[in-house]
Amino acid sequence: MEYKILKLAIEKNVATVTISRPKAMNALNTAFFSEMDSMLNELSSNKNVRALIITGEGKAFVAGADIAEMSDMNSEQGTEFSKIGQNVFDKIEAMPFPTIAAINGFALGGGLELTLACDIRIASTKALMGQPEVNLGLIPGYAGTQRLARLVGMGDALYLLYTADMISAEEALRIKLVQKVTEPEALLETANKIAKKISQKGQNAIKQVKIVTRSGINMNFNDGQNLEAKVFGSLFDTQETKEGMNAFLEKRRPKW
């Protein structure tokens, strides 16, 4: 596929996808979802990729779904547009390696929902985040009502959803919406450092951590523990695990 909105760079096992439609604050339209879907398919089958960073070009990470495109939709089209976005964001969440949102500026509405589908969020001090849908007479349509409350808890989620406030990176850190805050010029370097650190661990272990943690949160505690025990046991049949433990005992770095 020819990409017009997304830019891809792959360096040392880390893929960086930059959303680039700065004239519209990188707002999410049908073309974006089609490109992102194709990009995710490409990256998930690329054996060299061990982590994905998603960021935005210009003043915004993403300032929401494209309001111009949505403005004359009927209810059927609205539901379909919501489903398209939900499916693509589910795909981001299910990528077979860790994903990091590097939030360079405005992450509003669908833009914040995109970051919620990623595993980790790093924000620049210039970032402003919020769910302003109620200002437009809308609600989030890309699982924001579901993922936000699971991430930050019901009180802070409903506060953001009701007030439509744009919060700073510091405030986002306080409510644990983001995991780190950096100066703007250090944002991508910080995201890359985290991605590289992850890419040097046992890659099957990283993949399984993601599957067990992400599936477990939707299970009851006992089912989650049972899944953990099953996956934990299965690792003992892998070369990666044998090498990891042997390397520790032999006081050397694992070779994987």
Beta bridge partners of 53: 16, 100
Q: How many residues bind ligand CO8 (CB under 6 A)?
A: 26
Q: Say which of 57, 76, 133, 170 is annotated catalytic.
A: 133
Place of tokens 């910080």: 190
CB atoms within 10 A of CB 254: 17
Q: Any contact of residue 81 with ligand CO8 (CB under 6 A)?
A: yes
DSSP 234-255: HHTTSHHHHHHHHHHHTTS---
Least Cβ distance, residue 163 to ligand CO8 (angstroms): 13
Least Cβ distance, residue 131 to ligand CO8 (angstroms): 8
Q: Any contact of residue 133 with ligand CO8 (CB under 6 A)?
A: yes
Nearest Cα to 59, choosing from 141, 147, 127?
Answer: 127
**Opening angle at CA 30, ends 70 and 211, nearest 5:** 110
Active site residue 133: yes
Q: Any contact of residue 56 with ligand CO8 (CB under 6 A)?
A: no
Name the token pair of 46.
């690329």
Least Cβ distance, residue 100 to ligand CO8 (angstroms): 21
User: Active-site positions?
Assistant: 113, 133
Residues that bind ligand CO8 (CB under 6 A): 24-25, 27, 63-68, 70, 78, 81-82, 85, 106, 108-110, 132-133, 135-136, 138, 140-142
